[in-house]
Amino acid sequence: MMDERIWGTVTRALAEEFELKPEQMVPEARIKEDLGLDSLDMVDMVIVLETAFDFKIQDKAALKEIQTLADVMEFILITIEQENGQAANA
């Protein structure tokens, strides 16, 4: 499943960068409260995700709305969809 692959990439990249335990990486995990990421980590998260998926996140403001890992996943899926749309139109 593509989503599972993306989920694996997201959780692996975040766990590695922020030294989180694998058992913490569940969809309902809250970014700040459960994972302990702060505002600086949120800025770094953009770079981590861009590096992991090899794309550029245009809508960085939307990341401020993210609360949980499930939100990150949704954000990535939308971004990939937009990237694919742009590639098809080009």
Partner 1 sequence: MVRPRTPEADGPSSIRLVAANLWCWGWLLLASAASLFLAPFWFLTGRIRGWSVARTAREGTWHYARLYLRLIEPFVPLRVSGTELVRPGSPAIVAANHQSWLDLYLMSRIEDHNICVLVRAWPFRRLFFFGPLMRLADYIETEGTGAESILKQAGKELGAGAVLLGFPEGTRSRDGRLGRFHSGIFKLATELNSPVAPMIIKGSGRVMPKGSFVFRPGPIELEMGPRLDPGLFAGEAIPHGALRRQVRRRFLSALDQGRK
Cβ proximity to partner 1, 26 vs 47, nearer residue: 47
Among 38, 59, 74, 81, binds partner 1 (CB under 8 A): 38
Euclidean distance between CA atoms 90 and 88, whole angstroms:
6
Euclidean distance between CA atoms 24 and 73, whole angstroms:
15
Among 6, 34, 41, 53, binds partner 1 (CB under 8 A): 41
Cβ proximity to partner 1, 20 vs 72, nearer residue: 20
Burial level of 17, CB count in 10 A (0-12/13-18/19+)?
A: middle
Q: Which stretch binds partner 1 (CB under 8 A): 2-10, 32-40, 60-68, 71-79?
A: 32-40
Euclidean distance between CA atoms 40 and 51, whole angstroms:
17
Q: Which amino acid is at 70?
A: A
Residues from 5 through 24 that contact partner 1 (CB under 8 A): 17-21
- Point out the residues that are catalytic: 38
Interface contacts to partner 1, rule CB under 8 A: 17-21, 36, 38-41, 44, 47-48, 51
